[in-house]
Amino acid sequence: DAGITQSPRHKVTETGTPVTLRCHQTENHRYMYWYRQDPGHGLRLIHYSYGVKDTDKGEVSDGYSVSRSKTEDFLLTLESATSSQTSVYFCAIRDRTHETQYFGPGTRLLVL
């Protein structure tokens, strides 16, 4: 599992509420990524980080923000959750010597 944990693993929330998902890694990887997975769309990149306080947008970043104040933690925030953000969210890290990305176990989010 490349030392990646995600919390919470499951969450149910209501439209309009803020939600923060956490990704934690133990192996000091520089690159970290947040994806969402929806049927028929594969995995789509939301945001990624290439170092502490260094982040950039992916293809579906609207409605999401991220923060990385220390190497091991990458936070994804939905400022005001909408039903279209119901999805499974995966965090990934990139191996430092290759381009391989390793994924965490995922967080299943339901926005009612």
Partner 1 sequence: QQQVKQSPQSLIVQKGGISIINCAYENTAFDYFPWYQQFPGKGPALLIAIRPDVSEKKEGRFTISFNKSAKQFSLHIMDSQPGDSATYFCAASTGETSGSRLTFGEGTQLTVNP
Q: Least distance from C-beta 102 to partner 1, angstroms?
A: 7
Stretch that binds partner 1, among 11-19, 64-72, 73-81, 91-99 (CB under 8 A): 91-99
User: CA 72, CA 97: separation in Å to the nearest integer?
Assistant: 18
What is the smallest separation between the CB atom of 112 and partner 1, expressed in angstroms?
22
The single residue among 12, 41, 82, 84 that binds partner 1, judged by CB under 8 A, is 41
- Per-residue DSSP letter, 85: G
* Integer Cα distance of 64 and 79 in angstroms: 7
Would you call 75 helix, strand, or coil by DSSP? strand
Q: Residue 91: how many CB atoms within 10 A of its CB?
A: 25
Q: Site residues (CB under 8 A) for partner 1?
A: 1, 31, 33, 40-45, 48, 50, 56, 58-59, 90, 92, 94, 99-106
